[in-house]
Structures are given as structure tokens and as C-alpha cells.
Amino acid sequence: MKRVVTILAVLILIGLCVFSCFLGPLGRNVVVRPHIQMPAEAFPVGPVRVPNTLMGLLIADLLLIGLFAAGTRHIRAGRPEAMVPRGLQNLVETIYEFLANFLRNILGDRAEKMLPLLITFFLFILVANWIELIPGFDTVGIIEHVHEGVEGHAVQKVGPILLLSHEKGEYMLIPFLRAANTDLNVPLALALISVFMTQVYGVQALGWSYFYRFVNIKALVSGGLMGVMNFAVGLLETLSEFTKIISFGFRLFGNIFAGMVLLLVISSLVPFVAPLLFYLLELFVGAVQALVFMMLTAAFIAVATAGHGEHH
């Protein structure tokens, strides 16, 4: 009996897939091509226009702050219940402990001071990436007269809702919500914070001698040919601080933006079943990017705070 239900379900799913490919919107050539643009769309609220990535950012912030405020309320109030964690507090403590132990492995006993920054990086990027997968992101918004240089669509009215149709027209969709990291400004800001804080921790750990890493005058004066080499390596090190900003920023932006485009295109081509696989992929990519951002920052901080003595 159970097997029959499973087979039936699979058949129905395949049927829907085939239907959507051949008889549905795609087969009849009535697909609404998704409109893809790199800067955030801005929808009007009264006199001002609000970028939709800002809304995604605020929602991610509120979710995180809400979760952690609710999870730690007993601890912050100093109640005795905090000693025996229940419910949300368990979840929050598990997340924190897992990440903290992971980072302590990389950074050793220097970790404690940097934990808040690194864990915030991870959790913020994770939540900001994953809320993209909530239905309604990128697809629900207001319909506006088309901007210059953009292909428009005609609209049709279904009950109280306006829908874009495949025919050419002069309307376009401005979504209310879009993931924060699909706006280059957010990943670049995170990258700048990450690189700047690496310098701060480096100076805190090694004092002003930290900057010998970049301008190695000591080696130039005393080292002969190898000293000149070491000086040149220092200059390269300076350059790599700037390329770090670019690669941090564009890695996160590129992955999440490509994910958004992928989901939009696949959902418009094969509306049933097929997007599921890509949602799974995006779940994975979002988590990996958050992990990579945190781990790379941790590794760079570990390099920056290691003294000369510790290398040998």
C-alpha cells in the first residue's frame, strides 16, 4: 500500500514536470522572462524610495536579534532558570558552543576576544542568505511603469492581484524583498569590516611592530640580498590586503547573486519539481559561504596575530 502511494506520488511529480515543460507556460511559449538587475530595485514608500535589499537586511537582522534576545532572556535577567537551559536557550547555546569550539581550534587561546565578531559574521550571512529561499522574495512586489532600457511586460488582472504576462508591454515588477547579499554594498561592507578588524587585532597582539609585515625596513637594512627579497614580499603583502577586500566581497556577492538568478530562471523554465533541487543547492551554498567567510577571517586573523617567534 505504502509503495503504491510512493510510486503514485513520483508519477504525479514527473507528470507535473512534463506538463510544465511541454503543455504549460514553457510549451506554449508564454513564459515571463525574469528581469535581472544588479543594483537593488527601489520601491516607493511615501516620498522616498526604499531599496528592497535593505528590507531583506532588516528582516535578517530582526530574525537574528529576536532569536537571540528570546534565547538569552533568562541569562540576561540573571534568573536561576538559566542554569538549566530549556527550549530556545538550548538552541542558542548549542549554536554558540559549536561555533566557538570550531573557532578555538583555529585561533587557539587568542580566540575569546574575536568570537563575537566572527560568530556574528557567520550567523548574519547565514540568515541573510537563507531568507532568500522563503517564497515571496524576488517575486512579490508592486508593478510599475517600465524604466528606461528595460524590456517591459503587459499586465493582467486576476481578482485583486496584478500579474505580469508574457506579452510585451510597459510594466515591470519591483519586488518588496531581496536577499541582502545580492546587493554588492553589503558583502563589500562586510569585507571592509573583516579586513579592518584583522589589522586592529594584529596591532593589539603585536604592537606597532605589526606593520613590519608590510614595510620591512629592518630586513632591508641588515639582510643583504635576502633582505631586499623580504622587503619586496612585504610590499606584496600590502597588495594582498586590498585584494582580500575584493575577493571577500565578490565571493559572497557572486555566489548569492548567481543563486538568485539560477532560482529565478529555473522557476520560470520548469515551475514544478526542478526548482526543489536548486533550493537544496542554494541551502548548501548559503551555509558554505557563511562558513567560508567566517573561517577565512579567522585564518587571516590567526596569521596577523602570530608573532615572529611563533613561526619557527
Partner 1 sequence: MDVEAIKLLAAGLAIGLGAIGPGIGIGLVGLGGAQATGRNPEAAGTVLTNMILAIAFAEAVAIYALVIALILIFVA
Q: What is the number of other CB atoms lying within 10 angstroms of the CB of residue 290?
A: 22
- Rounded alpha-carbon distances, angstroms, from residue 87 to 15, 81, 118: 42, 12, 25
Strand, coil or helix: 177:
coil
To partner 1, the closest distance from the beta carbon of 291 in angstroms equals 7
Please say which residue, 19 or 250, places its beta carbon nearer to partner 1. 250
Question: For 135, which DSSP code?
Answer: T
To partner 1, the closest distance from the beta carbon of 249 in angstroms equals 9
Please say which residue, 227 or 254, places its beta carbon nearer to partner 1. 254
Contact between 59 and 77 (Cβ < 8 Å): no
To partner 1, the closest distance from the beta carbon of 252 in angstroms equals 10
Contact between 270 and 16 (Cβ < 8 Å): no
Please say which residue, 201 or 293, places its beta carbon nearer to partner 1. 293
Please say which residue, 105 or 165, places its beta carbon nearer to partner 1. 105
Please say which residue, 103 or 172, places its beta carbon nearer to partner 1. 103
Calculate the dihedral angle through the C-alpha atoms of 87, 91, 97, 99, rounding to the nearest 10 degrees: -170
To partner 1, the closest distance from the beta carbon of 209 in angstroms equals 25
To partner 1, the closest distance from the beta carbon of 288 in angstroms equals 9
Please say which residue, 137 or 253, places its beta carbon nearer to partner 1. 253
Encode burial over 160-192: b for 16+ CB neighbours within 10 A, e otherwise.
Answer: eeeebeeeeeeebbbbbbbbbbbbbbbbbebbe
* Residues forming the site for partner 1 (CB under 8 A): 38, 105-106, 243, 246-247, 250-251, 254, 291-292, 295-296, 299
Strand, coil or helix: 217:
helix
Dihedrals phi, psi of 166, to nearest 5 degrees: -75, -15
To partner 1, the closest distance from the beta carbon of 127 in angstroms equals 21
Strand, coil or helix: 291:
helix
- The bridge status of strand 48-51 relative to strand 141-145 is unpaired
Please say which residue, 107 or 173, places its beta carbon nearer to partner 1. 107
To partner 1, the closest distance from the beta carbon of 112 in angstroms equals 19
How far apart are the two ends of the chain, measured CA to CA in Å? Answer: 68
Rounded to whole angstroms, the Cα distance separating 180 from 290 reads: 13
Rounded to whole angstroms, the Cα distance separating 261 from 46 reads: 30
